[in-house]
Amino acid sequence: MKKWYAVIGDPISHSLSPLMHDTWFKENGIDATFIPIHVEPSNLKQAFESLQTLGVSGFNVTLPHKQAIIPLLDGVDDTASMMDAVNTVVRGGKLYKGSNTDGDGFVESLLTTESSPDSKVLLIGAGGAARGISFALKRRGFGDVTITNRTHRRAEELADESGSKSMVKAEAEKKLGDFDIIIQTTSVGLAENEALPISLQNIRAGTLAADIVYNPIKTPFLKVAEEKGCKTLNGVGMFVYQGAIAFEKWTGLKPDTDNMIQMITEKLGGTYVN
Ligand code: NDP
């Protein structure tokens, strides 16, 4: 019988996950399809019950349901528990368990740049994505991670939990030249004339500047970093690798990520840089 998978979110019409997973199902000879489902917060419980009744084999969860889905599931793994957020649900028999592949997806993407775990890393932001990335960096041996955030208390809390350091924004701006990798995880600075979340005045040429936002493909943060002679990494890699890890959890197969990065990049109309 044909299997089916889904992504639930609000909004969802912009999602590139169906294109990505349907392509991988085809490439791997799997008779399955991937459906985007618009679920408003007030309908989450009902939507999950319908997915179960209709026998979904697994699904992705995106904004704003990443936390709200947790009490509905039969359990979560350590990564999702640490992040207090689920982006991937895996079915085992009748049980639906939550996981989170965002942080590992980012680190897989970062490793394509051959960045050394000895690098000094600055993480800008302390929200859901930054949380996953800070834990994943630590798991993968990046020992020197500093977090800065608009609300400093959140940076301090995340740093304490993930074994990182925290730094107030003004100090991070002054010491920007000390860092080898700077990772932008907020969604600010995307609009015309909007300030970046941090001034890049003191960034050092040769630093790797990574932005996890992938639409636009080259964010204002990456444009400024490029002008300053930095290497850049956009968010397409994180998106594709988080999907690839979910795909492997569902099917046991490792999909082709290089072709997918090309395909998504072309779809978004930019150049993938690493
Ligand atoms: P959250 O809402 O959890 O976190 C938002 C972060 O942005 C917080 O650190 C917040 O700081 C900061 N922020 C918000 N407004 C401002 C502002 N005006 N000035 C300075 N900082 C601000 O969001 P997520 O972490 O879930 O997602 C962040 C981005 O990452 C989104 O754009 C999302 O699309 C993208 N993303 C990309 C993925 C990919 O696959 N490439 C995967 C997941 C997310 P404060 O604590 O002070 O409020």
Question: What's the average model confidence in pLDDT over 188-210?
Answer: 91
CA distances from 193 to 85, 91, 196, 232 (A): 32, 45, 9, 21
Please tell me the distance from the alpha carbon of residue 256 to that of residue 16, in angstroms, as a whole number: 16
**Averaged pLDDT of the chain:** 95
Question: What's the average model confidence in pLDDT over 59-87?
Answer: 96
Could you tell me the strand order of the sheet in which 181-184 lies?
Answer: 165-166, 144-148, 120-124, 181-184, 208-211, 231-233
Question: What's the average model confidence in pLDDT over 18-29?
Answer: 98
Common-topology check for domains 3-100 and 104-236:
yes
Question: What's the average model confidence in pLDDT over 103-109?
Answer: 98
Residue 274, pLDDT > 50, answer no
Alpha helices in 177-219 (DSSP H): none
Spatial contact of 6 and 60, defined as CB atoms under 8 Å apart: yes
Question: What's the average model confidence in pLDDT over 92-110?
Answer: 97
- What percentage of the chain exceeds 90 in pLDDT? 92
Residues 6+ apart with CB under 8 A from 78: none
For 271, the token pair is 């150049």
Spatial contact of 137 and 145, defined as CB atoms under 8 Å apart: yes
**Which sequence spans correspond to the domains of the chain?**
3-100, 104-236
pLDDT of residue 197: 94
ipTM of this complex: 0.97
158 lines ligand 1 (CB under 6 A): no
Please tell me the distance from the alpha carbon of residue 59 to that of residue 84, in angstroms, as a whole number: 17
Question: What's the average model confidence in pLDDT over 189-202?
Answer: 88
pLDDT of residue 272: 54
Instruction: Using alpha carbons, select from 229, 187, 186 the residue that is nearest to residue 209.
Output: 229
Residue 40, pLDDT > 90, answer yes
pLDDT of residue 188: 86
Q: Identify which of 66, 102, 150, 261 to mutate to test ligand 1's pocket (most ligand atoms within 8 A of the CB).
A: 150
Q: What is the pLDDT of residues 124-177, one digit of tens each?
A: 999 989 999 999 999 999 999 999 999 999 999 999 999 999 999 999 999 999
Assigned CATH class of 104-236: alpha beta
Please tell me the distance from the alpha carbon of residue 118 to that of residue 13, in angstroms, as a whole number: 40
Residue 59, pLDDT > 80, answer yes
Residue 117, pLDDT > 80, answer yes
CA distances from 23 to 28, 77, 160 (A): 9, 27, 40
Assigned CATH class of 3-100: alpha beta
* Distance from residue 125's CA to the centre of ligand 1 (Å): 7
Question: What's the average model confidence in pLDDT over 229-258?
Answer: 98
Residue 191, pLDDT > 90, answer no
239 lines ligand 1 (CB under 6 A): yes
> Beta 32-38 vs 3-9: how paired, if at all?
parallel
Whose Cα sits closest to atom 33 in ligand 1? 213
**DSSP secondary structure letters along 83-125:** HT--SEEEEETTEEEEE--HHHHHHHHHHTTT--TTSEEEEE-
Active-site amino acid positions: 66
Residue 113 sits at φ, ψ, to 5 deg, of: -90, 0
Q: Identify which of 20, 186, 239, 274 to mutate to test ligand 1's pocket (most ligand atoms within 8 A of the CB).
A: 186
Residue 192, pLDDT > 80, answer no
Query: Quick one: which atom of ligand 1 is closest to the CA of 130?
Result: 25
15 lines ligand 1 (CB under 6 A): no
pLDDT of residue 69: 98
